[in-house]
Every structure is written in C-alpha cells, then in structure tokens.
Chains A and B, each alone.
Chain A
Amino acid sequence: MDLLNIINNLLKIIGDWIYGLVHGLVGNLLVTDLITMGLAAIILCTFAALSFMGLTYAERKIVARIQDRIGPNQAGPFGLLVPIADGIKMFTKEDTTPTAADRWVYNIAPLVIATAALTAYAVLPLAPGVVGTNLNVGVVFTIAIGSGSVVAILMAGWGSNNKYALLGAFRTVAQLIGYEVPMLLNLIPVVLIAGSLSLVDIVNVQSTLNGSPGIPFVLYFPVSALIFLISGIAETARSPFDLLEAESEIVAGFHVEYSGMKFALFFLGEYVNALAVSFMFATLFLGGYNGPIFPPYVWLLIKAAAVFTILMWLRGTLPRIRVDQMHTMNWKFFVPISALNLIILLLVAKIFQPGNAAMPWVTPGVQAMATAITTLIPFLAGLSIASRRLRSQRDAAEALAETRRAANRAAVTTSMGGAH
C-alpha cells in the first residue's frame, strides 16, 4: 500500500524532495522558488524536446508501416538512432541568411515559435499536485499562447523576403486563425460543466462530479470533442491540413529559406504543438491523468499517445485537402455547427442541471446523456445535408464535363468525316 502510494505520487515526491533540497542549500524562500521554478521549466522543456526526437522516429516508422513501407532501418537497430543522426545534421548544417532577408525578423522568428510552443506546457497537469502552475485561466492560456506561432509564421514569411515564403505564411495564417474559432467554441461546453477555466479543476471534475463517479467529457460532448480534435490538427498544420508545405505550389511554405538549426526549431515547434494538442485533448475530453490501476502520469501519457497515434494514422492515410475545401469546411460547417451546438447545449445543460429540486432524477449521467444526444442530432443532420449538397455539386460538375466531352467527340468526328 505504501509502495503503491509512492509510485502513484512519484512526480510529486521527487518535486517536493528537490524543493526541500534547494531550500536547505539556499535558505531564502524567494531564491528557492526561482531556482525550483527554473529547474521545473528546464525539465519540462527537455521533456518536450526529447519527445520531439522520439516522435519524429515513431511517426516515420508508423506512417511507413501504414503505407506498407519499412521506414528508417539503417542507423542503429531498427533505425533507432535516426533522431540522433538528424540532430547531428541539424547542428552541423550550414545556415544561410539570404542577402535580401529582413535579418532581425528572419532570425528571431524560429525562436518565437519554439518559445511559444514550449510555454504552453507550463499549465499542463501531469499528476495530482504536479502542474507547472494551476492558472485559473489555463484553458484560454493554452489557446492564447498559440498566437505566438501565428506571429512567428508571419515573421518568417516576411523576413525571408521570398514570394513563396510570404504566400505560404499568409495561407497558413488564414488557416490557423480560421480553425482557432471552432477550437474555442468547442472548449466552452467543457467549461460549462466544469465551471472553471483551470485545467486542474477540469481534470478533477472528470474524476468525481458531485459525489458520483466522474464522466470524461468526451461522453458529454462527443461532437465537440471530434470538432476540437480536427481543428486541433488544422491548428498544428499537420497532414491532411499541411497546405503550408504544398511542395508543388509554394515549395515548402513559410520556411523555404530556413536551413540547419533554425529550420529544426520550426520543426520542433510543429511537433511540440501537435503533442500539446494531444495532451490538451486527453486532459479536456478524456479525463486527463484519471484512470484505474496505473499511476496518473502513466495514464496521461497513454491517453496522449493514443491521440497522437490517431494524428499519425490520419497523416499516413489521408491526402492533403484543397485550400478552398479547407476554408469551406471550417466556415461553412464547423463554425455554424459549433455555434448551433452551443445554443442547444446552453439550454439542455441548464434544464438538465443536477441538483434541481423539481427533478431529483437528474444526475450527471442523465445530463451527459441529454447533452450528447441533443448535440449529435443536429451534427448528423448537418453532415447529411452537407454531404448531399457536395454530392449534387459533384454530379453537376461531372455532367457538365460529360456533355463537353460528348460535344468535343462529335466535333472531332464531323471534322474527320469532312476530311474524308
């Protein structure tokens, strides 16, 4: 029992031990605080950077398997040393700054994107009592800090003084700001039930709710969870939303001029953001570190890894979507459906609020069922309307092409007949 307790609270115990150690050495509370905060920040950054290396390898291997390839297999056993080889290459590759570039803007952009991506980890609850800082606005903070990447991308695009880079940056930013809207809209349902913007509170609500066993929010809001995940993928600009690096159109998007370590920082920003989205999804909708048997931090890692696997799966399977399709899907489907969902949810969650004296049979479970069902219906209806409209549009385009082909064929036949 005691051992179990130690394993479950391992992170907390180590943290307290380090704090005590530093306090014993320094004595001053302020300095102790600063040192331990700095250590925690370094540990978090290192964790993110190491998981970046691990994820690049895992992604290559898994996507390769999905596409019936072998993937990296030369450097080390099973190609395990590939991330290290990558690192050596990134460190020793010559780094050019184009003469035409806007030097300061060009050089700071990768720093901005990496810093913004890493800072998001400051509010992530890793285990009970283990969190960088339990901000009472944690949810909005994680989205707000994402603005850093938007600014960095614009800086990179402008600073490169390259037409492809600037075009790529503008495209990317239009995509990022567009998909931020459904992301924010689908966070609100979670906050409605949790009654707090703190990530720790949101996790706690999912473990126990008014005395009854907690329900992960994915069961409350399956539609919101789905839209949040998809817009999260779009937010990190990963496949199938990787329009920014459409090689055939704009070479590699906003980072076309970057090489060496600066490019690596953009790459790191992308992966760290994708991992942050996985962690956020696990925390907001899957109950965070809650789970039976295993220690909390293991549960969090399992859940985040599962979400990231879905991201890799999508990357290995889906083709890149077109820019107009992407915007249409966002502004004409996700945003209206999310807003509609929100209107319904406000009403339904209010009517089926547990603790109402007139309706004692309403428990959190009943509330969850009500919200899930009432949001699924308009979503499915919207989906079927959208698919029917798209199909009829496609059929019309097909029919038009067919008549043109027939006309061409007829014209060719008659002209050939005339030649005879």
Chain B
Amino acid sequence: MTITLQTIIFALLSVVVLGSALFVVTTRNLFHAALMLILSFFGVAGLYVLLESGFFAVAQVLVYIGAISILFIFAVMLTRGMVAMPRVNAQAQLAALVSVLLFVVIVVIVNPTALSIKVLPGASERVLGGIPWQFTTVTTITDSYIKQFGASLVDGSAYLLPFLLAAVLLDIALAGAVQVARERRPAEVLAERELMAAEAAEEQQREQALDTAPETVLAADHH
C-alpha cells in the first residue's frame, strides 16, 4: 500500500476518533465526555469525506454534532453529580461484550478483505496536485449520488418503506419522550399523588380484610 495524502489524513483522523472516544469512556466529567464525543463525531465526518460522500459528512455534522450532541448535553444537565461520575457501573461488562460482538458483526458484514482498492478513472485530475484523491471505493460514486439517494428514498421498489417507517419511528420516539419527560402541572401531580394514596389505602384495607377473616375470603375465592 502506497502512502498518499489520503492515508496520512486517514491516520490522523483515526487517532482523533479513537483518542477522543477513549477519553469519553474514561473521563469522570460528563460534560467533558460529551465534548470529546463531539470531537469524535467530527473525525467520523472527516472519514466520510475521505470516502467521497460529502452529503453524509455534512449530515454527520448537522445531525450528530448539531443535534444529538446538544441532546446529550441537555441530558447531562439532567443528571446529578455530573462532574464526578463513577468510571464503571454494573453494566460495564455487558457493554464491553456487546461492543465486541458489534465489532465482529461489522467486520463479518463489511469484510474488508473483499474491498477492492481501485482508483477511479480521471481521479488524478481531481486536484490536490496529481495525487489521487480517492481512497477506497466499492462502487463507482459520482456527484449525482445525492440525486440517486433522494430518488431511491421515494421509489416504491427501493427504500420507500424504510423511509416512511423511519419517520414513524421518530414520531413514536418523540411521543414516548414527551410522555416520560413532560413537566406536569402541580394540579396533575397532586391528582396523581391522591390517586396513588387512594390506591395504597385500598390495598391496605384489602390486606386488613384478608388478615381478619382469611379462611372465609379464601374459601369464597375457591368456589
């Protein structure tokens, strides 16, 4: 494998992505972890650029840095003791197992040895001084890939169903989150507490009834 500008950039980006990811899991300050996660996302956007898919690089920045990270930071601000979190918790081993499994699955599916490394015709003309800009390509990617992508999203024989399902999925996610995290009015909270208190009282009464006359009630139940 020859060293090109691409391989150098790829190496730098890998260091950024992996280094910041390592920082994310080792730091005890949740806010710092979120910031480093943003840096990691940024590096991944760079990898998309190297793969000649500018749209997904920009999408990565817009969605992951511009939206998901902000969501993370807002979620960080919902936790208690965000500057000194324990480094490991009960699920650490499970998480490690899942990560390893995921890695194996990705390697099996992508199968890097089957990737053919070929430089597109005319690639050397794509500036940066005679050094081919392409890194690796599986299929020929042209500038019209955004158009193809868009057309296949609404094409009934291509990705229409997943596309619409994604929209519905996002709706459901929103509905669930609204239900869980919605700030309730004091009156609602009070009503809920009253309801719970009433239920608890009822429960207690029933238990008392069972305590006082267990045989008869049980007998009645059996018949």
Contact = CB atoms under 8 A, between A and B. Distances in A.
Q: Direct A–B touching in the complex (beta carbon < 8 Å)? A: yes
B62 A143 contact: yes
B128 A33 contact: yes
A299 to B, nearest CB: 28
A147 B70 CA distance: 9
Given A158-B31, A177-B67, A147 B130 contact: no
Contacts of A253: none
B201 interface: no
A382 B129 CA distance: 55
Contacts of A31: 129
Contact of A151 (B38, B54, B143): B38
Contacts of A141: 58
A158 B73 CA distance: 10
**How many B residues are at the interface, by size bracket?**
20 to 34
Interface in A228-258: none
Contact of A137 (B5, B58, B74): B58
A59 B178 CA distance: 43
A30 B32 CA distance: 38
A263 B26 CA distance: 32
Interface in A92-136: 102, 105, 135-136
Interface in A140-165: 140-141, 143-148, 150-151, 154-155, 158
Given A136-B54, A140-B58, A197-B146, A146 B129 contact: no
Given A140-B55, A177-B67, A145 B61 contact: yes
Given A105-B35, A144-B58, A33 B66 contact: no
Contact of B130 (A29, A146, A197): A29
B32 A105 contact: yes
Contact of B70 (A105, A140, A154, A195): A154
A173 interface: yes
Contacts of B131: 30
Interface in A195-218: 195, 197
Nearest to B5: A30
Contacts of B55: 136-137, 140, 197
B82 to A, nearest CB: 10
Given A140-B58, A143-B62, A33 B146 contact: no
B127 interface: yes
Contacts of B129: 28-34
Interface in A176-197: 177, 180, 195, 197
A150 B64 CA distance: 12
Contacts of A151: 35, 38, 65, 69-70
B35 A147 contact: no
Nearest to A146: B66
Nearest to A145: B61
A135 B127 contact: no
Interface in B123-173: 127-131, 143, 146-147
Interface in B44-89: 54-55, 57-59, 61-62, 65-67, 69-70, 73-74, 77
Contacts of A34: 129
8 contacts: A33-B129, A137-B146, A144-B62, A144-B65, A144-B66, A147-B67, A154-B70, A195-B147
Interface of A: 28-34, 102, 105, 135-137, 140-141, 143-148, 150-151, 154-155, 158, 170, 173, 177, 180, 195, 197
